[in-house]
Chains A and B, each alone.
Chain A
Amino acid sequence: MESPRMMTVETSRFGEVTFAETDLFEFPWGLPGFADQRRFLALSLAEQPSFIWLQSVDDPKLALPVADPWQIFPDYEPRMPAYATEALDVRGAEDFTILCVVVVTKDAEEMTMNLMAPVIINLKTRRARQVMLENSPYSVRTVIPRKHLEAQGTAQPA
């Protein structure tokens, strides 16, 4: 088998990142607020493995911090809308993972997680989509308890 093509992107946040083309995740529908962005890498700082940055390869300035919601909210039970399972061809639990966007407020006093619009990633096809759980009990700005952050070693993103 041919080895995957290596590529380089000069990111604003992480400097130069070299990656294999097969490392990319594809967001065929873009992301709300960044509708034109299609190709992303999942990056973490070695010292903050709980945080993943969805780094756009098309716009090197754009990186969106996400994290595993269950790490913080173990009872989180998103009901995936039909359009998401259909569009991403999600069949079984091993097929996909869910990450939620993390927002740090300007004064860095508070961190919130967007539980209403999880990012669903099909791990087999590497296609992903941020979906909206309308009529769900989940908030766009769910406060992450500070003590929990400390316990998880997830300080605010650098």
Chain B
Amino acid sequence: MLVLSRKVNQSIMVGDNVRVVVVAVDRDQVKLGIEAPREIAVHRSEIYEEIQRSNRSAAAAGAPVAAGAPVVTRAALQPRKKSQKPAKKSE
């Protein structure tokens, strides 16, 4: 792991597009600011790891399907039905 020392208001670049700024330090807590392109997802590691674990257990669950059970390819999925409320878009 690369380890760098930074002071408050100093930053590091990750690649050409991602800047991580040390915004504040208070005892054992560090506040970071992240500037990244909009399509880049930025999450706390614990949450990402929780989703990883959840996906892995989802994929591991269930017995194999009986041989010859008819399987349908769902090539065309449907958008959410109109009667339902539309999903909100966050700013």
Contacts and interface: CB of A to CB of B under 8 A. Distances in A.
The answer on A and B forming one complex is: yes
Interface of A: 12-15, 17, 19-20, 22-23, 29, 31-34, 41-47, 49, 52, 62-65, 70, 74, 77-83, 85-87, 93-99, 101-106, 114, 116-117, 121, 123, 130-132, 134, 140-141, 156-158
A83 B54 contact: no
A85 B89 contact: yes
B78 interface: yes
A134 B41 CA distance: 11
A34 B55 contact: yes
Contact of B55 (A32, A81, A82, A85): A32
**Chain B, interface residues (CB within 8 Å), range:** 35 or more
A49 B72 contact: yes
A78 B87 contact: yes
Contacts of A96: 79-80
